């Protein structure tokens, strides 16, 4: 299973490196911008939830 995934990834990587530079940049932008945006949104929500829990615990300890 892992070997098949590695072989597939090698084929994709080879295909990508053989594209002209402009297409490489376009493809990387189309894939990476949404991926980075989604990661930022998820991490922001996780940090907000953790901060809210910590604040709730501290306020409960004070009372």
Q: What is the pLDDT along the chain (63 residues), one digit of tens a residue?
A: 899 999 999 999 999 899 999 999 999 899 999 999 999 999 999 999 999 999 999 988 886
Q: What is the C-alpha end-to-end distance of the chain, expressed in Å?
A: 55
Residue spans of the domains in the chain: they are 20-63
Which is nearest to 16 in space by CA: 37, 4, 33, 31? Answer: 31
- Grouping H, G, I as helix, E, B as strand and the rest as coil, residue 61 is helix
For the entire predicted model, the pTM comes to 0.64
């Amino acid at each position: 299973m892992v070997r098949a995934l590695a072989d597939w990834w090698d084929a994709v990587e080879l295909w990508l490196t053989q594209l002209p530079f402009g297409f490489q940049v376009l493809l990387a932008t189309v894939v990476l911008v949404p991926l980075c945006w989604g990661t930022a949104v998820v991490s922001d929500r996780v940090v907000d939830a953790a901060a809210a829990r910590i604040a709730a615990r501290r306020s409960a300890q004070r009372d």
